[in-house]
Structure 1
């Protein structure tokens, strides 16, 4: 609920468990007062004056832009902390300062043109704040949208040029939160290709600390999610603030501790490799950022985001049950042909799988990674009767048909590049660098989008793919566009992403019953922007189980299991031990289950094991994909990873413990505090019966001198 008190010009934004308060000081200045739990804590303006802090003569030192807790910060007008907006005015200066003009409160929310955004429901409510710079006529509208049941608030800004001349945005941020203290740890996710999203926690220090991407993608290296928590916060206790960005390109997460020990958090596009020209009257809409607060530890912050993403970001599930897929990549690489793929379909059906995904190698002159990208027609030597006939043969076996694409890329050795070398991102006079033998198409070029839509329409005519795996296997360099004038070249990376989103929306309209799995060399675009259009994301190209334990734990800090594509891999069938396959499966059922192995050549024992694994997964799939997640042991701090999934009343509980490293013989108590104490639970996996009180006290788990090793329990209330 959003309320406004006219007598003190105070706004209060309330979700089920949180309260956010700010007010208008002297009828002009937005000052932040409080964000946290619903309680009776005083929300009082504190001038926080300090020597050298600039102030307006009419108000004296009772208000300084440099020391107040703000909602939005202009550049060069007295606030020396990190700024929300830097705007180059027609006269050449970058000074801007915004005063309150008016507001409105309304149900629902506005759509963001060309951008992904969180969908509203019946409880959604929005506050629109209109601000204006009286010196230039430039205006900003700030939007706060409440998702009460999930305890999430989304933020974005709309900047309009009212100067009468051309203005250039040099930095813009979607969210600013000023907190009065600095005794926090910052949690972020770092990594690299094959090793994405690793948990990192460190105390804040005075000055600026940030994570960002300059790669044209949210990246393997730094994820847009961050959190601030009390030093003593655990999974189950302590204050935690979580932040994320609904965008898939370059970003900046910026945290600054100031001279007065206040903390400023900002999420947005930042300033590197971004300039946006606003002609008179034009508007720019920033991508959406989201924030949540938990008074009950890191785990509750995660569950807030999980529920929000499932309910407001992810597209509707195209099938009654998420298909268990068999992907060809690790087994076949580029060496695919129709006969071999039909053998995969037979083996998949035999094991109870739902779909075969034909990965790279099916199109153009694509026999390795050096040629063919951009030529989106079926290779006639591999599919002599055409792709539609092959798809019919596969579907006749009762197996859905999925296919791999990489629309944003092109090989220099391709028909497309030879015809249109100017369709790549490029800077005049500079040679383009290669990565994985490929270049990046200019998705800001309407001709490129038209070509891709036409190619995929023709190629998939009569095919009706059930599933697309959409990949992106390099980052951007030489970022420039042949279709933009010099004064707009700073817009190329952002316009590229708008083009990508347009193509995603086209795919969802053109193939409404198909599922999209996003991929970027694994989890290189594991973000809320991609999740808007993708049912799930390939978590990492690293499918080895022990590295995956940590990758999946860290991913779950911010993203629900429904977004994690997790495969059991055994590409050359080198693993003939069902016990090892069991451990890999136990890791993979932390998310949406799939397989990557040469199933036609697998032994009868392996096939029987997989059939049983899929049947077991189907029993508790709904808990994994739609239930609540409770982490118990952090694998970065312990030698095991342990967690459980449950429904809202804890009548069904899936508990998992995975030995990640070492052997100490340590005994862990895996406690399930939400279990019903007087209930009796049957453990279907281990055929035992326990009371709810015993679950609350904890299941005893002792590490074993075995590698690999894990245990699972599936408790059903009797």
Structure 2
């Protein structure tokens, strides 16, 4: 016994001795995260902020001190007192990153630094892997940091594994823990509900804990979008201030915890929400957390957004560097009431409008229980014979003859009780034993923890793709959150449900992506109920909100633009609102343009305007989708919104100005442009004008230097309620 104890103590001392002085630099072009193993063997975060020119500066901020803490004035720098991945049960007094109970009932964990490695994955990407280990129990935690040099973005996640004889219970399993020391902290969160998604709200953090989370299982972003800005010392604005922008690549329950301690230090924990999700981890099995993605900016929120947009284009969104399809959707024209002739007539409307694709929405499936409303048919993915006697293959052929592509709506994770699927497989749904079934939108959630259900959902897509030449596009919907949260498949491991459901969904989407790698899909969830980089690796875009009133959409799209690039945010021109077709279209052109209108009801001038606007959009879409976004005037600050996109070479830009609800004739001041080259000369031309309409911008057609446009500016806003101006800016 004494010999074993001696070996254990010797191993602990050796591990700590080897760890002393190890400093780990994780850097991008402008940002540095510095970690260091202390004399006690524990890994600490010693610096997160602007990259220093001289590496010796990191040694100063990482210097161990006999004082309880050291703060470097005015900067988000800390000394060795902030554990990089704090545990529970020993000396940590605050929120832990990890908490577990061992086989012997011991609820504590210690993690000492073992080693680290850094490798370049490509010219732009470096991954640092840090191994931590409990000196007593056979538990290992591996921290992963992937740094994207040009995008100034870091992706961080954690792997947990143990080799005890029986499963251990995990209670907390954060993806990351970040630390800051500042005088003040300002949190910008994005909250809402159906039809009012991604509304921005900023507040100063005070002592204690602030939590942003979701417990909804699916449609998780219904109330809180999983993103945030954290400003240091003072409120950051678009062009100045220090801040971190963060988001989680997870499509289930998430949790951000902001804890301000007794020393005015802030720790941010990010990851899966452990609520009702204690996890029995089997020996040897690796528990991998989702990625936390973040960027540090010392030039305000605008630069943070551009960093994330640039990252998303290359790494975060499926086919982010490829083009997108403009479309006409039938939903608001027909709702559930259509047949083959109505649809094929709309193919011709799509061609007339000039869009790329026709999208068939809800209501095309079910035979024993035809889908004539939202109460039946969901889960029975066969074309309704009374509506579509020749099947969807016929529609594909007719669309091809018309010269457009054909897309289709599905909601494969859900089922109506009034369906053949439910009659055959009542055990495939999530529902509580000994409780009445609880419905939302008259439907239930299928149990994607079950591999048989995963096979069914994959087959739903695969069968449609096997019809004739296959569809060109899927709109994948999800119209309810998770209640009845019980899986018959999981049996006595119900606390795994929220995690295994999301993993099951990813397994299905992995199979789809592998078999149909070039298939574009829209992510939809009763509006913007799913907007995260976990699912966007499988989807080319997302539906931002069912609210398409353009006044409200300015705020919704403004909110999403903080974290998601324009090409990923779907905006449609619809019958919502009583604004002009020009205002509706100009607002929709801020992102990925689509239409959901009855083209035949458009007046001659309206149709001509739409055709010209679609042509302009297709010509300018590379700038809108992939250019740098500059938000100049916020609708939260004034009764207008002004933003512009500038391409990489600064040779082309598009400016959008939306006047909302001014109280009186506002006589708006000139707006200073951003992102142009001061040494270049640009022609400014107002486009998207109604036939025979006068131009709103007097200087339209004139030329100016970038220097003039950025330092003097132009009057770009109309004074009329709910009006818009679009400017094309071209280098001469």
Spell out the pairing of 1:387-536 with structure 2 (5 A cutoff).
387-463=392-468, 464-486=470-492, 488-536=493-541
Asked whether the 8 Å contact 1:375–1:416 carries over to 2, the reply is yes
Structure-2 separation of matches of 1:668 and 1:314: 37
Note if 1:81 corresponds to 2:82: no
Asked whether the 8 Å contact 2:20–2:41 carries over to 1, the reply is no
**Aligned alpha-carbon RMSD (Å):** 2.1
| Cα offsets for 1:151-201 (capped at 9, x unmatched) | 111111111122222201111110111112251211111010111111111
Structure-2 separation of matches of 1:662 and 1:260: 45
Cα deviation for residue 333 of structure 1 reads: 1.4
Note if 1:361 corresponds to 2:363: yes
Note if 1:696 corresponds to 2:697: no
> 1:582: which partner in 2?
582
> 2:61: which partner in 1?
43
> 1:204: which partner in 2?
205
Structure-1 separation of matches of 2:414 and 2:568: 24
- Select which of 298, 304, 307 maps to 1:304: 307
Name the CA shift for 1:693/1:659 in 2 (closer, same or farther; >3 Å): same
Asked whether the 8 Å contact 2:118–2:129 carries over to 1, the reply is yes
| Cα offsets for 1:251-302 (capped at 9, x unmatched) | 0011111000101011101320212111222221111111110111110001
> 1:126: which partner in 2?
127
TM-score (norm 1): 0.91
Name the CA shift for 1:48/1:85 in 2 (closer, same or farther; >3 Å): farther
Name the CA shift for 1:295/1:456 in 2 (closer, same or farther; >3 Å): closer
Note if 1:266 corresponds to 2:280: no
Asked whether the 8 Å contact 2:383–2:392 carries over to 1, the reply is yes
Asked whether the 8 Å contact 2:20–2:39 carries over to 1, the reply is no
Cα deviation for residue 339 of structure 1 reads: 0.6
After TM superposition, the structure 1 stretch with the greater mean CA deviation from structure 2, 340-349 or 178-187, is 178-187
- Select which of 566, 572, 580 maps to 2:571: 566
Name the CA shift for 1:600/1:504 in 2 (closer, same or farther; >3 Å): farther
Structure-2 separation of matches of 1:277 and 1:678: 62
Name the CA shift for 1:480/1:682 in 2 (closer, same or farther; >3 Å): same
Asked whether the 8 Å contact 1:87–1:167 carries over to 2, the reply is yes
Asked whether the 8 Å contact 1:213–1:219 carries over to 2, the reply is yes
Structure-2 separation of matches of 1:616 and 1:122: 36
Asked whether the 8 Å contact 1:378–1:459 carries over to 2, the reply is no
Structure-2 separation of matches of 1:659 and 1:237: 25
After TM superposition, the structure 1 stretch with the greater mean CA deviation from structure 2, 286-295 or 657-666, is 657-666
SS in 2 for 1:299: helix
Name the CA shift for 1:83/1:615 in 2 (closer, same or farther; >3 Å): same
Name the CA shift for 1:287/1:678 in 2 (closer, same or farther; >3 Å): closer
SS in 1 for 2:669: strand
SS in 2 for 1:701: coil
Note if 1:638 corresponds to 2:644: no
- Select which of 249, 265, 271 maps to 1:246: 249
Cα deviation for residue 390 of structure 1 reads: 2.1
Cα deviation for residue 704 of structure 1 reads: 5.0
Structure-1 separation of matches of 2:650 and 2:461: 46
Spell out the pairing of 1:26-41 with structure 2 (5 A cutoff).
26=39, 28-39=41-52, 41=57
Structure-2 separation of matches of 1:458 and 1:644: 42
Structure-2 separation of matches of 1:85 and 1:145: 21
| Cα offsets for 1:651-672 (capped at 9, x unmatched) | 2121111112323515233212
> 2:185: which partner in 1?
184
Structure-2 separation of matches of 1:678 and 1:181: 39
Cα deviation for residue 703 of structure 1 reads: 5.7
> 1:548: which partner in 2?
553
Structure-2 separation of matches of 1:49 and 1:258: 17
Structure-1 separation of matches of 2:353 and 2:261: 59
Asked whether the 8 Å contact 1:327–1:357 carries over to 2, the reply is yes
Structure-1 separation of matches of 2:80 and 2:151: 32
> 2:83: which partner in 1?
70
Cα deviation for residue 465 of structure 1 reads: 0.3
Cα deviation for residue 415 of structure 1 reads: 0.3
> 2:673: which partner in 1?
672
Structure-1 separation of matches of 2:130 and 2:719: 61
After TM superposition, the structure 1 stretch with the greater mean CA deviation from structure 2, 217-226 or 657-666, is 657-666
Structure-2 separation of matches of 1:428 and 1:48: 58
After TM superposition, the structure 1 stretch with the greater mean CA deviation from structure 2, 255-264 or 230-239, is 230-239
Note if 1:352 corresponds to 2:354: yes
> 1:615: which partner in 2?
615
- Select which of 331, 335, 338 maps to 1:336: 338
> 2:683: which partner in 1?
682
Structure-1 separation of matches of 2:178 and 2:580: 47
SS in 1 for 2:574: strand
Cα deviation for residue 317 of structure 1 reads: 5.9
SS in 2 for 1:396: helix
Name the CA shift for 1:139/1:233 in 2 (closer, same or farther; >3 Å): same
> 1:714: which partner in 2?
728
> 2:161: which partner in 1?
160
TM-score (norm 2): 0.90
> 2:9: which partner in 1?
none
Cα deviation for residue 613 of structure 1 reads: 0.8
Structure 2: which 5+ runs fail to align? 1-17, 70-77, 687-699
SS in 1 for 2:147: strand
Cα deviation for residue 210 of structure 1 reads: 1.3
After TM superposition, the structure 1 stretch with the greater mean CA deviation from structure 2, 471-480 or 175-184, is 175-184
Structure 1: which 5+ runs fail to align? 52-64, 109-120
Name the CA shift for 1:7/1:443 in 2 (closer, same or farther; >3 Å): closer
| Cα offsets for 1:484-518 (capped at 9, x unmatched) | 131x2111111111111122222223333321011
Structure-1 separation of matches of 2:393 and 2:623: 37
Cα deviation for residue 568 of structure 1 reads: 1.0
Spell out the pairing of 1:221-236 with structure 2 (5 A cutoff).
221-230=223-232, 231-236=234-239
Structure-2 separation of matches of 1:94 and 1:661: 58
Structure-1 separation of matches of 2:154 and 2:256: 17
Name the CA shift for 1:548/1:432 in 2 (closer, same or farther; >3 Å): same
SS in 1 for 2:267: strand
SS in 1 for 2:37: strand
Cα deviation for residue 76 of structure 1 reads: 1.6
- Select which of 101, 111, 114 maps to 2:114: 101
Structure-1 separation of matches of 2:514 and 2:727: 42
> 1:115: which partner in 2?
none
